[in-house]
Amino acid sequence: MRKQFRVFGLLAFVWMFTWANHCFADDGYKLWLSYAKISDRAFAAQYNQQLKQIYFAEGIGSNNVARIELMKGVAAMLQLTPQVTKPGDAGLLIGTQKTLPASVIKTLPAVTHDEGYVIKTITTNNHKQVVIAGKTQTGVLYGVFNFLRLLQTQQPISTLNINEYPRLERRVLNHWDNLNRTVERGYAGASIWNWHKLPGYIEQQYIDYARANASIGINGTVLNNVNANALMLSPEYLVKVKALADAFRPYGIRVYLSVKFSSPIEVGKLKTADPLNSEVRQWWKDKVDEIYKYVPDFGGFLVKANSEGQPGPQAYGRNHADGANMMAEALAPHNGIVMWRAFVYDSNPLNDRAKQAYDEFKPLDGKFADNVIVQVKNGAIDFQPREPFHPLFGAMKKTPLMMEFQITQEYTGFSTHLFYEGPLFKEVLGADTYAEGKGTTVAKVIEKKPHSKAVTGIAGVSNIGTDRNWCGHPFAQSNWYAFGRMAWNPEQSSAQIADDWLRMTFTNNKSFVQPMVQQMLQSRENTVNYMTPLGLHHIMGINTHYGPGPWVNKAERPDWTSVHYHKADSLGIGFDRSSTGSKATSQYAPQVQQMFDNPATCPDSNLLWFHHVSWTYKMRSGKTLWFELVHHYYEGVDSVRRLQTVWNGMQGKVDQEQFNSVKQLIAIQLQEAIRWRDACVLYFQTFSKQPIPAGYEKPAHPLSYYRDQQFHFAPGIGGNI
Ligand code: BDP
């Protein structure tokens, strides 16, 4: 009997141990809101003392999302259920400027921005109190998330004096999600919008999505692909859109839709979509009125027109302003906006696609309605690992411009490469356009309102899907996070954002955080090196955009090939966009133009973007172009090996499941980096006819091997379905 007991006891113990391990394993679902128990005793004691009693001002009832989040975070991090109390007794007071006691408000700076907030430590009768005060409930929510971040990253709270407001008004995710739940350029599973079960079923993931976005200040979401399906505007789908909008509203998130320009024909059964046709204009007005009945705070439309086969106003001899203004007119009475994309290139490519957006939009500067904002990709080709900033940012002085970044890693390693986008965002936002003299950075351009009714904004193409960890790669979450933080304030450093993210997601352990911040900061350059160093671009596999494809020389159109962009020949390599070539440099302000136009002043990092350079050209390093190119490719791979070594040393410092996941992904990244390197070096060698220098490991296979490799069903192929 006793023996049986013992066996039973042992089995029970083993089961409990396994169960506990299973429960505590981190599968990445919680994102940066993991609210891990505070391990530092001194901080835990300080926070406990301060948070034992909390005052919630009127309007912050028990179902208020800021209150729920705060209580949830505090319970998890401190194992504490605070007592809800009167203002005088509380260690933490939360409310709006109108609802907090006047005696408290008078100690705080005024919050003027609708989404702004202050967090301040004040002393009342020798009693330290922390106050979180927003102008609106959304401001309160943002303040609460900031406060929770302080706890998550173990910061002192005894002398807080934080005064925050967003620099850009519309901070929006763009989902390239189709109605059949495929995601164009999505690498993290299916679309999280379960259209079939909507409107009846609100998944927990929608709420967690809204929480995560609110925690970083994202206040809008475009639900569907820019290659839009006209069905989106049918009542069948609008009722589903309403359900999502209702779920997101408490979190300060507005819903927007991508619309297809030909919707009046497809949904409205009209004969034309001509923007100057009165029936068409009326159709849009009626449709917009209908949408606002479902969603009273609907944000507006995102439009891809006359680009990559999408319909647009040019089919009727009209221009982008005619198209945008027609929709703007319908949206204006409801305060809706049109985000009209500048990513355009027609089916009859000019000599240089990089010039087309400028050529089409610059003449329209000042011709757009007040509630139109032109959404411009960060670079003029297409979200490459590195592109010089888009010339339109320095060129549209009378038109509000919205930045479009691509968070999803279409060209930067899908969801198998650790590529932290913070440095990429920073590089573009900090680039000097010289549009209004030195210091007119891209960030300043997008923050500025060219007219009093202008809206400002920034968009990020989402990397979210149904994968348990949302983004496929645990570190891909950092790109969603960094986008939100930089959208709030483009001045923030990518190092600080990486530091916060690592602490909130994994651990505050310095021996983990410090080396991993360095690895994250380096990761963008690693990928540039093993994919497209020195300004190379668009040399990836055709259609899927997976892996290297510098040899691609046939496609439906020349500007979908790689040879069109690298132009390698026996003399050299690179696309001459200077004044001796396509003259794309002339689209920049004179100071920028001069710098890019001359190979001697053009930064190495953009050299082959702007110049066709001889293989023997002497680089700043003293190496010839060929050796420099080879060096970058090899350095790219070596840096992934260093990343691998650093990560392998992290076992035991982070959750084992997360550790294993990243470990396996880095191993794949390394293989893919080697493939990129070897394929490109061997291919370009057929033109340079020069050796790979001694001391560099030789590619394992001949060029034909890399050319012949096939990757069926690589993810991310979309379409407007
Ligand atoms: C490219 C993608 C394509 C998108 C297009 C766009 O390859 O799938 O539809 O951009 O932004 O990067 O419209």
3 state SS for 565-625: HHCCCCCEECCCCCCCCCCHHHHCCHHHHHHHHCCCCCCHHHHHHHCCEECCCECCCCCEH
Two tokens at 612? 């066709």
pLDDT in tens, 48-87: 999 999 999 999 999 999 999 999 999 999 999 999 999 9
pLDDT of residue 18: 45
Nearest to 241 by CA among 284, 198, 209: 198
Taking CA atoms only, the protein residue closest to ligand 1 atom 10 is 382
For residue range 197-230, list pLDDT tens digits in order: 999 999 999 999 999 999 999 999 999 999 999 9
Q: Which part of the chain has CATH 3.30.379.10?
A: 41-164
Rounded CA-CA distance 693/64 in Å is 64
State pLDDT tens for residues 222-245.
999 999 999 999 999 999 999 999
Rg of the chain over CA atoms, in angstroms? 27
Residue 637 has pLDDT above 50, yes or no: yes
At 278-315, the pLDDT tens digits run 999 999 999 999 999 999 999 999 999 999 999 999 99
pLDDT digits (tens, 9 = 90+) for 405-417: 999 999 999 999 9
Beta bridge partners of 548: 540
pLDDT confidence bin for 666, thresholds 50/70/90 = very high
Sorting pLDDT into bands at 50, 70 and 90, what band is 404?
Answer: very high
Asked whether 585 lines ligand 1 (CB < 6 A), one says no
Paired residues of 172 in beta bridges: 220, 459
Buried b (16+ CB within 10 A) or exposed e, 472-485: bbbbbbbbbbbbbb
Pick from 608, 617, 610: nearest CA to 593: 610
For position 721, what pLDDT does the model report?
74
What confidence category does residue 248 fall into, taking pLDDT thresholds of 50, 70 and 90? very high
Rounded to the nearest angstrom, the distance between the alpha carbon of 497 and the centre of ligand 1 is 27
User: What does the block give as tokens for 107?
Assistant: 């100690």
Q: Ligand 1 center to residue 172 CA distance, Å?
A: 17
**At residue 168, what are phi and psi to the nearest 5 degrees?**
-125, 145
Q: Give the pLDDT mean for 634-638.
A: 98
Residue (of 85, 71, 87, 179) closest to 125 by Cα position: 87
CATH architecture of the domain covering 170-493? Alpha-Beta Barrel (3.20)
First-to-last CA distance in the chain? 66
Give residue 12's pLDDT.
56
Q: Is residue 364 scored above 70 in pLDDT? A: yes
* pLDDT of amino acid 17: 44
* Span(s) in the chain for CATH 3.90.1330.10: 529-575+612-708
Q: Are the C-beta atoms of 291 and 238 separated by less than 8 Å?
A: yes
Cα(351) to centroid(ligand 1), Å = 20
List of residues 6+ apart from 671 with CB closer than 8 A = none
pLDDT at 720: 66
**Helices 494-505 and 477-488, axial angle in degrees (round to 10):** 130
Q: 422 is written with which tokens? A: 């913070």
Look at residues 232, 214, 215 and name the one whose alpha carbon lies nearest to residue 223.
232
Q: Give the mean model confidence (pLDDT) for residues 568-589.
A: 98
Q: Is the pLDDT of residue 400 over 70?
A: yes
**Which ligand 1 atom is nearest residue 377's CA?**
11
Residue 543 backbone zone (phi > 0: left; psi -120 to 50: alpha; other: beta)? left
Predicted pLDDT at 271: 98
Report d(CA 230, CA 225) in Å as an integer. Answer: 11
Residue 349 has pLDDT above 80, yes or no: no
Query: Is 226 touching ligand 1 by the criterion CB < 6 Å?
Result: yes
The model's pLDDT over 620-630, given as tens digits with 9 standing for 90+, comes to 999 999 999 99
CATH H superfamily, domain 41-164: Chitobiase/beta-hexosaminidase domain 2-like (3.30.379.10)
| Minimum-distance ligand 1 atom for the alpha carbon of 716 | 8
**How many Å lie between the centroid of ligand 1 and the Cα of residue 178?**
13
Q: In this predicted structure, what is the pLDDT of residue 351?
A: 77
Instruction: Fold for 529-575+612-708, please state it.
Output: Alpha-d-glucuronidase, C-terminal Domain (3.90.1330)
Degrees (nearest 5) of the Cα angle 454, 459, 465?
150
Q: Kindly give the number of the ligand 1 atom that is closest to the alpha carbon of 461.
A: 11
Stretch 30-48: mean pLDDT: 97
Say whether pLDDT at 19 is over 80. Answer: no
CATH 3.20.20.80 positions along the chain are 170-493
CA pair distance 320, 367, nearest whole angstrom: 10
pLDDT score recorded for residue 20: 44
pLDDT at 10 over 80: no
- Spatial CA neighbour of 291 closest among 249, 250, 235: 235
**pLDDT score of 547 more than 70:** yes
- How big is the chain, counted in residues? 721
Phi-psi region of 459 (alpha: psi -120 to 50; beta: other; left: phi over 0): beta
Q: Over the stretch 438-455, which tens digit does the pLDDT of each residue have?
A: 999 999 999 999 999 999
CB contact at 8 A, 184 and 718? yes
* Total-model pTM: 0.96
| Residue 686 reports pLDDT greater than 70 | yes
Q: Does the C-beta of 345 come closer than 6 Å to ligand 1? A: no
pLDDT value, residue 717: 84
